[in-house]
Amino acid sequence: MIKKAIIPAAGRSSRLWPQNQKHKSLTRIMGRSLISYALQGLKEAGINEAWVVQGPERDVEKELKKEKTGLKIKYVVQPKPRGTGDALLWALKFFKEDFVLAGPHKTDFAENFRPFLKKTKKGRAVVFGVKTKNPWDFGIVKFASGRAKKIVENPAKGKEPSDIKATEVYVLPGNFREYLEKVKKREQSLIDAINLLLQEKGADFFLLKKDTVSLKYPWDILPLLERMLESKRLKKEVSSRAGIGKNVVIKGKVHVAENAVIGDNTVIYGPVFVGQGCVIGANNVLRGPVSLEKNAKTGALCEIKNSLIGEGTHFHSGYVGDSVIGRDCRFGAGFLTANRRIDRKNIKVEIKGSKIDSGLTYFGTVVGNNSRFGARVSTMPGVLIGSGCRIGPNTTVSENVSDNATYYSKFKNIVKKK
């Protein structure tokens, strides 16, 4: 059985902006990084050693040293982010055994992939796939005579070879380095090498019954949040060291950590995670899935629904729906996220100058770290706001705001400063 895994965690995660100040695998849900959950899942599936490829800043290593995974972890530095293929070349200098390649955000590894690992054959590659409704966004498996023959990256609409996407998880043979060295060095060299392997040696294929976690765009954090909070990882518990006010109603699966405070008359509908040191004001409503990370705070009359709130972020009052908020942000009174279009159609989001269909009819906003919002600010559906921003009072944010920008309304004119 496979005992080693390589976890590439050195890329820029540029499409995840504004939630890409660190590697995307360091996004925290329920007080832990995604990569720590992924490593724990590998352990549960029988892997005992993981090689984590990180960037020169070593931020992944710094975070993982604070968390327990049960795995033997070895770190490799990829000096420049030149794609997953290059990352593998750095790791494969050190061993020649068959291995699992898994994305660092695959928190569902044990659930989805463990049953198949026992069926793998020594020296034989394995491709895992799952059905998708939007194949043009992924690497799609092309079949011939019932066998996987090629992975086609982002095929044009109407030219998809199948509706089966590759899952970013593979079992690869110990000599895979030879295939990587044969293909041209480019961003897509991993897929090139896998396709060369499929052409020369073939591979086994397993179709998953349940879709696996993807983390390509910032809104992908929301279904990931839902899956995490609905899993066994959320423990239903109210700490004896938490302060619970009068007339508080807690329904469903809710975790309230130590030193958290829940104000009077607040209603919490699980699944909800309230982290250490959080302070929830009076007359709040939390409608899960919601994860309030360490030291988050709300004032009176605040409603939060289906959202991830980063460490140390504070709200005065208002409504936050279907949103992802970074660390150490401050929101003045009356902050509101619009999270649906009037016509109820899918919400489109601007990514790198192009409008991308999120596939969601409910989607509020995504905010980076350390941004500040004046009183009575509102955001339109699907707006992205960077880190270090300043949003003036009485402003409706109707377009993306870049990092470290100032954005406010003045006499019906929008003023932007960089």
pLDDT of residue 418: 65
Query: 290-325: b or e for each residue (b if 16 or more CB lie within 10 Å)?
Result: bbbbbbbbbbbbbbbbbbbbbbbbbbbbbbbbbbbb
Residues 101 and 247 in one domain: no
Domain around 354: 234-417
Residues 211 and 239 in one domain: no
Rounded-to-10 torsion of CA 216, 217, 221, 223: -80
Most confident of 130-134, 146-150, 235-239: 235-239
Lowest mean pLDDT among 91-100, 267-276, 290-299, 375-384: 91-100
- pTM (2 decimals)? 0.92
Number of structural domains (the chain) is 2
pLDDT tens digits along 173-210? 999 999 999 999 888 899 999 999 999 999 999 999 88
In the predicted model, is pLDDT for residue 269 greater than 90? yes
Residues 205 and 319 in one domain: no
Position 413 confidence tier, pLDDT thresholds 50, 70, 90: low
Residues 360 and 396 in one domain: yes
pLDDT of residue 149: 92
- Give the residue carrying structure tokens 């795995």: 71
pLDDT of residue 393: 95
User: Helix or strand or coil: residue 59?
Assistant: helix
Residues 316 and 269 in one domain: yes
In a domain, 77, yes or no: yes
Residues 172 and 319 in one domain: no
In the predicted model, is pLDDT for residue 219 greater than 50? yes
pLDDT of residue 411: 46
Residues 170 and 259 in one domain: no
In the predicted model, is pLDDT for residue 412 greater than 60? no
Ramachandran angles phi, psi of 417, nearest 5° = -130, 140
Residues 356 and 401 in one domain: yes
